[in-house]
Amino acid sequence: MSLDKYLESNFTDTPLETILNRRDFLKMTGGGILILFSLRDISFAQGSHSLPDDFNAFLHIDEHGSVTCFTGKIEMGQGIITSLAQMLADELDVSLDSVEMVMGDTDLCPYDRGTFGSMSTRFFGPPLRQAAAEARRVLITLASEKMHIPEKQLATDDGTIYSQKNSEQRVTYAQLTKGQKIRRHLTEPVSVKSPKEFEIMGQPVNRRDAHEKVTGNAQYAGDIQVSGMVYASILRPPSHAAKLKSVDLSDAKGVDGLQIVRDGDFIAVLHKYPDVAMDARDKIQAEWDVPKSSLNEKTIFDHLLEAAPPGNTIASGGNLETGERDAESVIEQTYLDGYVAHAPMEPHTAVVQFDGTSAKVWASTQTPFSAKEEAARELGIPADNVRVITPFVGGGFGGKTRNLQVQEAAKIAKLSGKPVQVAWSRSDEFFEDSFRPAAVVKVKGGLDDTGKISLWDYNVYFAGERGASQFYNIPNHRTKSYGGGWGGVPGAHPFATGAWRAPANNTNTFARESHVDMLAASVDIDPVEFRLQNLSDARMKRVINTAADNFGWKPTKSSPNTGFGIACGTDAGTYVATMAEVEVDRKSGQVQVKRVLCTQDMGICINPEGATIQMEGCITMGMGYALSEDVRFKGGDILDKNFGTYELPKFSWLPKIETVILDHQELDPQGGGEPAIITMGAVIANAIYDAVGARVVQLPMTPERVKAALGS
């Protein structure tokens, strides 16, 4: 699959139901949920590759009883190092402590398209559980043959199989397998546990990587040092689309021990110390042809509207003309959203060790199997000769799906003949990041004479489709998306754009939920009440009602400048409702978020502790795009180069955060890494409106924009 196609899938959100509608392979049985092996061939999650049918590809039991779990997924903080281990341990019936995770190693792990889209638990979880359940059943069969006891009399506990009639008669998994691959397989599919049978799944478990991470022992790609390795610093143009006119390397060449490699405009300086390489890069005198451009963070929106291709209708019903004619009132509004950086604390990093025929790569990547292909292409060797190892990844958020730094390291390794580490500086990171695309949303909403929404004409430009379709009961509605999501169309964005945590959905939820709030305010109906009146979706009503109960909607204002907001939405199969309290300084326009409560229906929750942490992380990160994060640029030059001007949420911003995960055992696990971030823009916008009557229609809601809205 081409890289374009591959990344595009980041921008669509495939709920599990879509896949499960292929009911031929999913049947409910009395004992639990029966998932046939064909679930391993989920085309969306896996692309053209299917997961292996052999459970040995997912797990290995060594001669001491330690169990290794192999997954192409990677750990970037989202916590699947814990939740996937819980799934395996529970289904195999071993202790959680006995499970070791091997993640994102392309030689050892089954193929995986990448860790994004809140898909690990949803789509890798079922086949992993299935593999573990099958392995357990096979072990029982092997034990039965060894002990001459009928299978029905055998039970398992913590890696041991014993006779239920005489528990003295027992054999451990390790004794049965002796560390060897298990050759036996079942011919019939086996049931995985029903939620009632869970012993380890569903329990809150602390992070299993905490010890390594608090001691500094956890290794990230930048911590990998191989013999003879040099650190590379790459000359970056001052602006995207700039072409190198001339270059003077003489000052850089004077640096002791420096090696310079060049391939056209690509120039890298190499040194055994990274800081010396970075300093040497600054000594390169380069002249560039920089194409003139009038684009900046203010003019981009008009440009995007001009650049937009015809839209695709992604949802519709009734008739817009009828809706408009019959509406008692109509409100139209345009919403704007700027470019946002991923800004993971760990910049993109890769180490490539190449011996001329094969290569070993360590990369901070969300897509190790694509990195393997990309490194191979750059090195000119078959992909089978490349092994990518993914150490801990220091945050990804969608930004590490594109492996530019891997390609750079591979190129330099080939040019220099040395093992190379490319670790982007923070300014490299801001320059080469694939930002969340700037976007425009135009919404026209109408109300009938009973205060119900009767018209919804929704047009989103360049954010993407995820989260665009509305879920209210609206007789006449149409949702159109223009220009797709991640890369837009040629000429749309002046630099790379890409998937950013819950792609498209932050922008779409901001626009939709702001607009619904405006409609409610226009008829003076409480925004929670208004939403409930216009909803029939039981899951959505439940998350809203739960949020209202827990928040105490609507509390009394503690000061004339405080206000309360609500926003709701769906992402990755999960339903979210968020309520917030803010305080607005009318003079400065500064917004302080005082309290955020988020309720989430994510189906079965594998690790409530991990899911809670993800919700808290989403809420905190979401305050950034809501209030301060906006990449400033001039033409192709990124003006924000570090955290001095690009402000991330800080300790002093932090509200009281409350999270509620609804009990929903009848639904398979849904996404958890992204959903809670989607509502943050809208919930704060709506709370600001409640506080001071100012409607801010552009993200981020900086003090200047809040002040402007107050004045209008």
Partner 1 sequence: MRETVEFTLNGKKVTPVVDSDRMLLWVLRTDLELTGTKYGCGESYCGACTVLLDGEAVRSCQMPMKYVEGKEVITIEGLASAQKLHPLQQAFADHDALQCGYCTPGMIMNAYSLLKTNPQPTGQEIIDGMEGNLCRCGAHNRIVQAIQSGAKMMSGGE
- Positions touching partner 1 (CB under 8 A) are 76-79, 206-207, 209-220, 222-223, 225, 272-276, 278, 343-347, 392-395, 397, 423, 425-426, 609, 613, 616-621, 642-644, 648-652, 654, 657
Nearer to partner 1, 137 or 342 (CB): 342
Nearer to partner 1, 8 or 616 (CB): 616
CB 13: neighbour CB atoms within 10 A? 28
Short-list 556, 553, 512, CA closest to 534? 512
Residues in the chain: 712
Question: Whole-number minimum distance, CB 655 to partner 1, in Å?
Answer: 9
CB 68: neighbour CB atoms within 10 A? 16
Nearer to partner 1, 82 or 454 (CB): 82
Amino acid at 142: L
Question: Whole-number minimum distance, CB 275 to partner 1, in Å?
Answer: 4
Question: Whole-number minimum distance, CB 615 to partner 1, in Å?
Answer: 9
- For residue 370, the number of C-alpha atoms closer than 13 Å in the C-beta half-sphere is 23
Question: Whole-number minimum distance, CB 177 to partner 1, in Å?
Answer: 31
Nearer to partner 1, 57 or 201 (CB): 201
Question: Whole-number minimum distance, CB 333 to partner 1, in Å?
Answer: 30
Short-list 520, 528, 390, CA closest to 453? 520
Q: Are 554 and 567 in contact (CB under 8 A)?
A: no
Euclidean distance between CA atoms 566 and 569, whole angstroms: 11
Question: Whole-number minimum distance, CB 395 to partner 1, in Å?
Answer: 4
Question: Whole-number minimum distance, CB 218 to partner 1, in Å?
Answer: 5
Question: Whole-number minimum distance, CB 320 to partner 1, in Å?
Answer: 40
Question: Whole-number minimum distance, CB 647 to partner 1, in Å?
Answer: 10
Nearer to partner 1, 343 or 468 (CB): 343
Question: Whole-number minimum distance, CB 550 to partner 1, in Å?
Answer: 17
Whole-angstrom Cα Rg for the chain: 27
Nearer to partner 1, 215 or 559 (CB): 215
Pairing of strands 453-461, 476-482: parallel
User: Any residues with CB less than 8 A from the CB of 508 and at least 6 apart, and which?
Assistant: 441, 460, 463, 464, 466, 467, 468, 569, 678
Nearer to partner 1, 43 or 642 (CB): 642
Nearer to partner 1, 217 or 357 (CB): 217
One DSSP character per residue, 359-403 reads EEEEE--S-HHHHHHHHHHHHTS-GGGEEEE--B-S--TTGGGS-
Q: Are 625 and 340 in contact (CB under 8 A)?
A: yes
Short-list 453, 458, 489, 459, CA closest to 472? 453
Nearer to partner 1, 534 or 607 (CB): 607
Question: Whole-number minimum distance, CB 220 to partner 1, in Å?
Answer: 6
Nearer to partner 1, 106 or 659 (CB): 659
User: Any residues with CB less than 8 A from the CB of 103 and at least 6 apart, and which?
Assistant: 71, 72, 73, 74, 75, 81, 109, 390
Euclidean distance between CA atoms 179 and 66, whole angstroms: 9
Euclidean distance between CA atoms 43 and 529, whole angstroms: 40
Nearer to partner 1, 129 or 418 (CB): 418
Question: Whole-number minimum distance, CB 621 to partner 1, in Å?
Answer: 5
Phi, psi of 607 (to 5 degrees): -135, 95
Q: Are 493 and 437 in contact (CB under 8 A)?
A: yes
Amino acid at 214: V
Q: Are 556 and 562 in contact (CB under 8 A)?
A: no
Nearer to partner 1, 43 or 645 (CB): 645
> What b/e string do you get for 415-431 counting C-beta neighbours within 10 Å, with b at 16 or more?
bbebbbbbbbbeebbbb
